[in-house]
Structure 1
């Protein structure tokens, strides 16, 4: 049977109040821009942008998205922000997102990724108790939340959670917190009473223009290309499920809509990953980007690093395909081409908001 790709419904999103934590990070900025183009009213809650430069600032999103400067570890401030926002939909993206940083700051990683989730879900619970009609809550975690057995097939949503390093484990904990709050306060069987649909989303290694994070492959490559220096890579044989950032974000938008339309059915965990053939080794990615950029772009391989990193990790996204109508649109070659296109635009001081909007439009138009 031929698969049908579900479309983002602009009429659904027009006028929807969307509260996003971590909105000025890499993924958050792309999501804010997409939601604004759909006519949603977006309110962001986050500390100042985590990188300099940042996609949020480069696209001038501070003029489009009201921002509450705050930390998800600040329980009272977060509760006040949710109460005042009166959102229809809450998307929780705030996180300490880096594996290597989690080794250096494990306590902070757990505080943000675990207690930050507790604080957000508690803020929603209190808001609903006080009459705020929050309809859908989506907690964005990670493909790394699974207990990675380094096997060759993809993990399904019902597989065991785990996580070797503090980051991955904290995301597994965040999933457990989400399940607990869903069972205890927002159970699908009692949806008619509380009216809140709560789900989690697990995506692969997202890539795209405007990511400037430290110790992450694509940003490291881009910095080397722009500066004309040789890149040093670690774990060249590590295989990851690479996908353009718009792929999971499209999944989040579809899922949030489904949560509002049928909260009882869709309050679950969901995988959003690329096709199997887009799980490629680190060195393959770097070589492709260097070849596409041209010139003197080059790289070298670092001796074995100190920290453990998974060698192989892949998601099974059958459930999202069959129940949401979601499936990847851009293959890995297309995703990498879009990154080079965005980076050239940055290098040439083009209007990056327009570049991002154009790529969103191209993505939506892809069959």
Structure 2
């Protein structure tokens, strides 16, 4: 399986948006290990604790706290800075938060992407841009079929719709501006990511960890729902391998799915939660249905094109992803260093074949 290439990343000037978030912090740590010079651009962390703070990510990067919804601030922050590659991960990522604040979600995920791409048009040395969207960009009719890259975009909640709209924004900027400049601009659609250091509101693993620490009970709205569970290292590895290909191969696809391994069994929310609470020694979860929920019950994505084109496939199945995740939280609770735990798992992951 393809892995991020240190020889490619060493010395590269990388703009990473969303570096203060959960996935962004893992990406920042891995990129710096690979030898890249990382500039991070994002809002300050919106929860406590935050992996960004625990792992000292600011000290590893040139960290800029900027709101992508404010185009003048983005232009000012990036003025005079040159980049070889851009990994755009900044977003409002929570479905229920998007229902509470749909306008703010569209402002962050759609206009924030547009503001960034507009500013990047002035980058003379740019080799490639990869914008991260979501497995939820597809029009989901609950058939249970895994979505492929050519399926129709859609979204019945504001988060999903905002990510589908971001896909169209990226395509329009690529065709109108970046293609003419010879700069590939693409999107990556990742599955439901789990891993150590996720403390976000309304995220399954984070909720289980919080409940366990408080000796409480995790409440599940849809234990029967299925999701394409993926460890954060599998997801980030796919993004980096894709960005490498974009920078070196003009014929690379302009959209790819990243999700669980081919042939892996679908794992429900309830099954994942059971494995997680058992690993932490926490109390069993409880089901409380939400009659007003419009979240999809079935969601799967087909990552076959990434396997075919990039030679990339997730290394961890869902049970292993849960085990690695809970190991991280247990080791941290036992006095482990957050940055060291991330680096140890990256080293372990890089050794997998």
Q: RMSD between aligned alpha carbons?
A: 1.2
Instruction: Name the SS of the counterpart of 1:270 in structure 2.
Output: strand
Q: 1:31 to 1:278 in 2, by over 3 A?
A: farther
Q: Distance in 2 between matches of 1:7 and 1:347?
A: 30
Q: Secondary structure at the match of 2:264?
A: helix
Residues 1:80 and 2:76 are matched in the alignment: yes
Contact kept? 1:100, 1:215, Cα under 8 Å: yes
Report what 1:20 is aligned to.
16
1:49 is aligned to 45
Q: Distance in 2 between matches of 1:257 and 1:82?
A: 22
Q: In the TM superposition, what are the counterparts of 1:253-332 in structure 2 within 5 Å?
A: 253-262=240-249, 264-275=250-261, 276-294=263-281, 296-332=282-318
Q: Does 1:199 align with 2:186?
A: yes
Partner SS for 2:209: helix
Q: Which TM-score applies when normalising by structure 1?
A: 0.93
Partner of 1:341: 327
**3-state secondary structure, aligned to 2:251:** helix
Q: 2:213 aligns with which of 204, 216, 226?
A: 226
Is contact 1:241-1:278 (8 Å) kept? no
Query: 1:100-128 CA distances to partner (integer Å, 9 max, x unpaired)?
Result: 00110000000000001110111111x13
Classify the secondary structure of the residue corresponding to 2:79.
helix
1:213 maps to: 200
Corresponding position: 1:159 with 2:145? no
Tell me which residue corresponds to 2:127. Answer: 135
* 8 Å contact kept, 2:280–2:330: no
Q: Does 1:245 align with 2:232?
A: yes
TM-superposed CA distance for 1:7, in Å, is: 2.5
Contact 1:17 1:41 in 2 (8 A): yes
The 1-side partners of 2:114 and 2:45 are apart by: 22
Partner of 2:110: 114
- Residue 156 of structure 1 contacts residue 317 of structure 1 at CA under 8 Å; is this kept in 2? yes
Structure 2 residue ranges without an equivalent (≥5): none
Contact 1:19 1:85 in 2 (8 A): no
Name the SS of the counterpart of 1:266 in structure 2. coil
Q: Does structure 1 retain, via aligned residues, the 8 Å contact 2:205–2:276?
A: no
Shift of residue 267 of structure 1? 4.8
Aligned to 1:185: 177
- Count of aligned residue pairs for this structure pair: 352
* SS of aligned partner of 2:14: strand
- Which runs of structure 1 show a deviation greater than 6 angstroms over 4 or more consecutive aligned residues? none
Normalization by structure 2: what TM-score?
0.97
